[in-house]
Amino acid sequence: MSMKVLIVDDAAFIREVLAQLLSKHGFEVAGEAVNGAEAIEMARSIQPDIIVMDIVMPEKSGIQATQEILAEFPQIKIVACSTEGSEAMVTKALEAGCCDFIVKPFKIENVVSTLKSAGGET
């Protein structure tokens, strides 16, 4: 069974690259959101297994969106994905409830293995 993934990033290019990459590796890309507020709405409607969450976005940050989504849907796994890979940012994302962190620019194999691990696949 493929895992349903929601991709959240304010950059259309990143969403497109991730969607193609994940589809090619057997994930079901169930939706794409451009900011944290949209991510919360989409999480409610599609209830994905995994969310790839950008951290720095307009309207509502990935940290805020993560906290709100997990308060409502604690079973959803959220993987942070950001160009800001400082220790402080990673710690902040993990404390918000993200189960892992991917630094952009990302390596294809890292993204796939991180999401499979988050979803419980080996």
Domain chopping of the chain, boundaries: 4-106
Whole-prediction pTM:
0.94
Residues in the chain: 122
Q: Per-residue pLDDT for the chain (122 aa), expressed as one digit of tens each?
A: 589 999 999 999 999 999 999 999 999 999 999 999 999 999 999 999 999 999 999 899 999 999 999 999 999 999 999 988 788 999 999 999 999 999 988 888 889 999 999 988 75
Q: Do 54 and 9 contact (CB within 8 A), yes or no?
A: yes
Mapped to the 3 state alphabet, what secondary structure does 74-102 carry?
CCCEEEEEECCCCHHHHHHHHHHCCCEEE
Domain 4-106 has CATH 3.40.50.2300: yes
